[in-house]
Structure 1
Amino acid sequence: MPATQHTPTPAAPATLPADVHYHVSAHDLHARLFAIELRVQAPAAQQQVALPVWIPGSYLVREFAKNLQGLQATQDGASVAVRQLDKQRWQIDCVAGAPLTLSYQVCAYDNSVRTAWLDAQRGFFNGTSLCLRVLGQEDTPHSLEVAATAATAGWSIATGLEPARIDDQGFGLYRALSYDELVDCPVEMGRFWSGFFEAGGVRHQFVVAGAAESFDHARLLEDSRKICEAAIAFWQGAPHGRYVFMLNVVNDGYGGLEHRNSTALICGRRDLPRLGDGKTSDGYTTLLGLISHEYFHTWNVKRLRPDAFARYDYDQENYTELLWFFEGFTSYYDDLLLLRAGLIDEARYLKLITKTINQVLQTPGRALQSVAQSSFDAWVKYYRQDENTANSTVSYYTKGALVALCLDLSLRREDHSTLDAVMRALWQRCAAGPMSEADVLAVLEQLAGRSFAPELAQWVHGTLDLPLAELLAAHGVRLQAEPPQPAQRLGLRVQESHSVLVKAVLRGGLAERAGLMAGDEWLGIELASGAAWRIAKLDDLGFYAGQAQQLTALVARDQQLLRLPLALSEADAPTANIGLAISDNALARRWLRDEPTATDEVLP
């Protein structure tokens, strides 16, 4: 889709490059190479530089240095030696004081929100992937110059960085107060669509790359404005300066990464709203929830942040047990704000909550790992999922959202406060500094008039199931058992096409007892009668097996054909499947619409 005319934020007076200055250009679109020149105005003797191993918001050591190549250094016009000290750190054989210039290239082939991408249509990068850190000078002023080249003719730039001297397309010089600020502002490049809206007195830009011609940009802008206004009303204050949404649209994808005054998003092309279609698809609802989630992070994790993130250590893992709060509570509010913004109704919201509850209840690992442990283990487990993940872990996103739900419903049931008030009180208490679990407990006790230590000990640090049925019932919502789907009944997670590919076998299920393994291709079944059938999906089992309680699964594993005896028992569904239904409209309204008192009006 062609780009609209770029309207840059009014630039500050032109300034010279800062003490640490980066010059970035799209060096070779087909080789996927960015060229970077780093100038250090006043280096130390034997100056060391390093590239981060991770990016804040995505808790995995990703080793960005693997994409860096050709590092060279000059000082006073002469080459100086560069010695690599470890996987991400280099020492330059320079003298103190005289300007030092480093040049290198970065290969950009990751079409995600986390690293860097470059091809003939689009460029994108996070500073953690491109910008070497000058050790000892992280808190000095930094600047970034993104240069226009013949290869990028017709492209524009979008970023949350403060412009110092840029052209109409956004190419030019940007500045930051520190390395942290520099790398917390990703850069989008290309022929993207761009639009603007005001929310809370703040100018918001929305950039979309890769959309089809059917994309309804006016609707996306209006719906995003409603989300931002709902979040600003929640926090009772707007972000500072301006805000930029950068959405990369692909054939199939989903994800987002929060930043100080921007966010990088990715979604499937068919998830965007379409011209002439006023319906809200499930895919578009998911996209709106993602927008809401990342925008909520502007407050919750970027400024109100765990004590472990008071200052990021880019060289190694930064451990915290609080991701259940910062990601989980954000996951609770992302969809709730869609409801408050009028973008979804109560029925769809309850459907989304139901999905979250089922995701947790259908994870056997919830009985083994607490959500606090899940937070701490994110570096080695959440981002490295395998066939045993569901059996050994629980998501701090989903269970953290349910902990938030339980706290909110508990506070409302006691008629003392709400989780909204707790979040705002934490904002006032800790926004200027780090937050700990002790702060959460202190604010809960202050607003509720009693200690919530027993609840957090059980819900956050324990592995027992949450009291969802009891708390929902107190607010007019009934939790009820639903018939298990075939995958739940068997204890499987599968991919279905021309056959059934087993992705995970859940602990204690019928499939595990039969000997099925992740990676198996389930081709068919054989019945006691001698009949044998090919299957393409698990629903075929009921069709071909009828009421049979014993059958043989015909499985391909490592090019071998296996016959595995499978016993089917109605009493052996290994995971729960629940649904939610409103049983008291007035009580439900008080929670869902945040009304202080019940009314007799019936929910639509």
Structure 2
Amino acid sequence: MKKNARLLYLLTVWTFFVAFSATATPPIGKDEDPPAASPSITYVLSMPEPQTHYFEVEMQLKNVATATNAKKNGYIDIKMPVWTPGSYLIREYAKNVEAFTAMVGGKPVPSEKIRKNTWRVTTADDNLTIRYRVYANELTVRTSFVDVDHGYVTPASMFMYHDALKGQPHRVVVQPYKAWKTVTTGLEPVSGAEYTYEAADYDLLVDSPIEIGNQRLFTFTAANVPHTVAMFGDVYYDEKRLSADYKRVCEAAATVVGEHPCKHYTFIVHHIPQGGGGLEHLNSTTLETYRTAYSTETNYKNFLTLVAHEYFHLWNVKRIRPVALGPFDYENENYTHMLWLSEGCTSFYEDNILRRAGFHTPEAYLTIVGNDIGTIENQPGNRVQSAAESSWDAWIKGYRPNENSSNTTISYYSKGSVLGTLLNLAILAGSNGERSLDDLMRFLYSEYYKKQKRGFTDEEFRRAAEQIAGRKLDDFFTTAVNSANPINYNAYFEPVGLKLTNVASKTQDGFLGASTSPANGKATVTSVRRGSAAYTDGLNVGDEIISVDDIRVGDDLLRFVSGRRVGDVLKVLVNRAGLLREVSITLTQNPLVSYRLEPLPNQTDAQKALYNKWLFIK
């Protein structure tokens, strides 16, 4: 019995050991692989020969095989964006890429270009290094540039990506040219690593331009947020005055929403011989302006208007946005009907902010509003394309104008600015001065950006606007936004005691309706206004005007039309594609308008109060 009992004991112990072994977690490194390390993406950006206009990029990918399905597929696809957010045009950045190579463990691996912006690397390895060069010789806010004076990087045109890795942190190591000491960007610096920056994801990287060189810097604090201004280019400015005025603009802009979402903000300013504009980013912007931007009061105020516009985008577009404007598809168009709001209402706010900050008097602001209306009403395309259509067609029309564009399109910037004025007035009137467009912006910021963490649909925007206005806004949305029909402006201005008056002088001077270029001593037609005498009677773009009524024109057509009366007939000889043609043109009435806002007689106290509320008059 003792022998049998011992055998039973041994069998029991063995059975328990086998059962435990079958369910216990095996030691790491023996029966299963350790947890995969997180993927990492690092770009090393250098410019060893800036005079050649080339940047060199090394893209280091580590621990990426599982995340990218490389182990399953046997390849990794690396892409270059085709556009950059804020500028709605397919720009084909891949056209500037060359010398794409891929390495694993220091050895080349096969790669091929499979689409216009996509390179396929044949590897299942976890760690991969990609090198390529980018030609950068176009200094705009939408492109990259490098020469012996400085480098500027629009990240969408420089840094490639993998779809599955866009949500991972991305690091950039800048290796400035040997003569350069300063890097300016809105990206977060990595502690203890010189010229090294990190973005939480690829979207943030794309949203953070980089200036590299010896740019001058100054700083100021506005709305309790530190701001840095990087100035490139030979230009004279009064730093004390400019810094103070930046602060005034920024603090006035912050009053719209009432909350500043940035920890810090960066302005990159390029002073160039010609051209201008800006591009907004999440906590920075790039501005381009003339070297004479600060030389006169008019130029100075125009520059501050640009500052106000791009700065206000940190709220409107970057956070208050239609659903189409983020997260972005970097390979295709991102369509929305609401660029009139995102860009146009930002154009409204640029002047509104300068009024709040005291740069515009109430009278000057009224002049701006009247001129804005005149601008769109003088463009024939305003009766063809609605603001919503203009927004949708930005990709094919807005950035690709031709000689007929003024006849068929309207800018969502200029039309949207006017719509911002009208919507502001509609909310003021509907709420008896209790609310304004500011309140709509605050609601959208709070509800969609902060609470729901997304953009809004067209219908959600309309419901929000009507909620803030306290009434239906059918005429605004149906007529002003979604159609090209005439707007009853005075219905919006009457509650503030004003009327819109056409003050264009009524003369008997005839109107031709053709613009010409005086190049090479010739008057060549560059545009023809729809409905004008030139349009109706058959003058064409490209026609070289030889003579009017048998008198040689040269390069000055205007003196042959000036003083002619409505109904006068001009006998015009043109060179059209190498053939002489005679065109008979009957001059018509000048259709151009010039608007001024004038006070209504016998204004009520309610109108006066609303007027003061509208124009920030205490």
Task: Specify the alignment match of 1:312 in structure 2.
Answer: 328
Measured after TM superposition, the shift of residue 592 of structure 1 is 6.4
Which letter maps to 2:378?
Q
Out of 238-247 and 34-43, give the one that drifted further: 238-247
CA distance in 2, matches of 1:140, 1:118: 28
Out of 22-31 and 352-361, give the one that drifted further: 352-361
Task: Specify the alignment match of 2:442 in structure 1.
Answer: 424
1:179-328 equivalences under 5 Å are 179-212=202-235, 214-270=236-292, 272-274=293-295, 280-281=297-298, 283-328=299-344
2:109 paired residue among 80, 84, 93: 80
Percent of residue pairs identical: 31
Measured after TM superposition, the shift of residue 417 of structure 1 is 2.6
Decide whether the 8 Å contact of 1:488 with 1:575 is kept in 2.
no
CA distance in 1, matches of 2:404, 2:252: 39
Residue 344 of structure 1 pairs with residue 372 of structure 2: no
CA distance in 2, matches of 1:485, 1:222: 47
CA distance in 2, matches of 1:190, 1:574: 51
Residue 118 of structure 1 pairs with residue 138 of structure 2: no
CA distance in 1, matches of 2:266, 2:378: 37
Task: Specify the alignment match of 2:176 in structure 1.
Answer: 148
Measured after TM superposition, the shift of residue 339 of structure 1 is 0.9
2:556 paired residue among 530, 536, 543: 536
CA distance in 2, matches of 1:486, 1:54: 50
Measured after TM superposition, the shift of residue 554 of structure 1 is 4.4
CA distance in 2, matches of 1:90, 1:520: 47
**Alpha carbons of 1:505 and 1:217: their partners in 2 closer, same or farther (altered >3 Å)?**
farther
**Alpha carbons of 1:338 and 1:488: their partners in 2 closer, same or farther (altered >3 Å)?**
farther
Measured after TM superposition, the shift of residue 486 of structure 1 is 12
Out of 223-232 and 546-555, give the one that drifted further: 546-555
CA distance in 2, matches of 1:546, 1:360: 26
Decide whether the 8 Å contact of 1:64 with 1:129 is kept in 2.
yes
Which letter maps to 1:119?
D
1:343-492 equivalences under 5 Å are 343-414=359-430, 415=432, 417-431=435-449, 432-481=453-502, 482-483=504-505, 489-492=511-514
**Alpha carbons of 1:449 and 1:590: their partners in 2 closer, same or farther (altered >3 Å)?**
closer
TM-score by length of 1: 0.87
Measured after TM superposition, the shift of residue 115 of structure 1 is 1.1
Which letter maps to 1:310?
G
3-state SS of the aligned residue for 2:324? helix
Deviations 1:7-34 (A, max 9, x none): xxxxxxxxxx981000001132222000
Residue 160 of structure 1 pairs with residue 196 of structure 2: no
CA distance in 1, matches of 2:243, 2:436: 30
Task: Specify the alignment match of 2:596 in structure 1.
Answer: 579
Out of 488-497 and 296-305, give the one that drifted further: 488-497
Structure showing greater radius of gyration is 2
Deviations 1:451-480 (A, max 9, x none): 224431222111112222332243233322
Task: Specify the alignment match of 2:90 in structure 1.
Answer: 61
Decide whether the 8 Å contact of 1:20 with 1:141 is kept in 2.
yes
Which letter maps to 2:281?
H
CA distance in 1, matches of 2:415, 2:509: 21
CA distance in 1, matches of 2:221, 2:253: 13
CA distance in 2, matches of 1:418, 1:524: 56
Deviations 1:538-558 (A, max 9, x none): 366315x57881223344444
User: Gaps spanning 5+ residues in structure 1: where?
Assistant: 1-16, 600-604
CA distance in 1, matches of 2:43, 2:151: 17
Decide whether the 8 Å contact of 1:525 with 1:534 is kept in 2.
no
Which letter maps to 1:327?
E
Measured after TM superposition, the shift of residue 104 of structure 1 is 0.5
Measured after TM superposition, the shift of residue 574 of structure 1 is 4.0
CA distance in 2, matches of 1:523, 1:473: 51
Decide whether the 8 Å contact of 2:544 with 2:576 is kept in 1.
yes
Task: Specify the alignment match of 1:517 in structure 2.
Answer: 540
1:121-136 equivalences under 5 Å are 121-136=149-164
Measured after TM superposition, the shift of residue 425 of structure 1 is 1.4
CA distance in 1, matches of 2:140, 2:62: 33
Task: Specify the alignment match of 1:502 in structure 2.
Answer: 525
CA distance in 2, matches of 1:27, 1:486: 66
Deviations 1:71-116 (A, max 9, x none): 001101211011111000111111232x210001000011110010
CA distance in 1, matches of 2:422, 2:509: 28
**Alpha carbons of 1:539 and 1:425: their partners in 2 closer, same or farther (altered >3 Å)?**
farther
CA distance in 1, matches of 2:175, 2:166: 23
**Alpha carbons of 1:20 and 1:484: their partners in 2 closer, same or farther (altered >3 Å)?**
farther
Out of 353-362 and 237-246, give the one that drifted further: 353-362
3-state SS of the aligned residue for 2:91? coil
Decide whether the 8 Å contact of 1:305 with 1:326 is kept in 2.
yes
CA distance in 2, matches of 1:166, 1:562: 74
Deviations 1:569-590 (A, max 9, x none): 33xx344333334557985784
**Alpha carbons of 1:582 and 1:492: their partners in 2 closer, same or farther (altered >3 Å)?**
farther
Provide the aligned C-alpha RMSD in A: 2.7
**Alpha carbons of 1:91 and 1:193: their partners in 2 closer, same or farther (altered >3 Å)?**
same
CA distance in 2, matches of 1:519, 1:336: 41
Task: Specify the alignment match of 1:11 in structure 2.
Answer: none
CA distance in 1, matches of 2:439, 2:523: 48
CA distance in 1, matches of 2:367, 2:561: 27
CA distance in 2, matches of 1:486, 1:516: 22
**Alpha carbons of 1:503 and 1:382: their partners in 2 closer, same or farther (altered >3 Å)?**
same
CA distance in 2, matches of 1:20, 1:547: 69
Measured after TM superposition, the shift of residue 41 of structure 1 is 0.7
Which letter maps to 2:482?
H
Task: Specify the alignment match of 1:94 in structure 2.
Answer: 123
CA distance in 2, matches of 1:203, 1:501: 52
Which letter maps to 1:163?
P
CA distance in 1, matches of 2:380, 2:304: 30
Deviations 1:330-381 (A, max 9, x none): 1111111111111122333233223321221122122222211111111111
Decide whether the 8 Å contact of 1:370 with 1:462 is kept in 2.
yes
Measured after TM superposition, the shift of residue 501 of structure 1 is 4.4
User: Gaps spanning 5+ residues in structure 2: where?
Assistant: 1-37
3-state SS of the aligned residue for 2:48? strand
3-state SS of the aligned residue for 2:164? coil
CA distance in 1, matches of 2:325, 2:615: 35
**Alpha carbons of 1:547 and 1:327: their partners in 2 closer, same or farther (altered >3 Å)?**
closer
Out of 431-440 and 332-341, give the one that drifted further: 431-440
3-state SS of the aligned residue for 2:51? coil
2:50 paired residue among 22, 26, 29: 29
CA distance in 2, matches of 1:336, 1:588: 19
3-state SS of the aligned residue for 1:483? coil
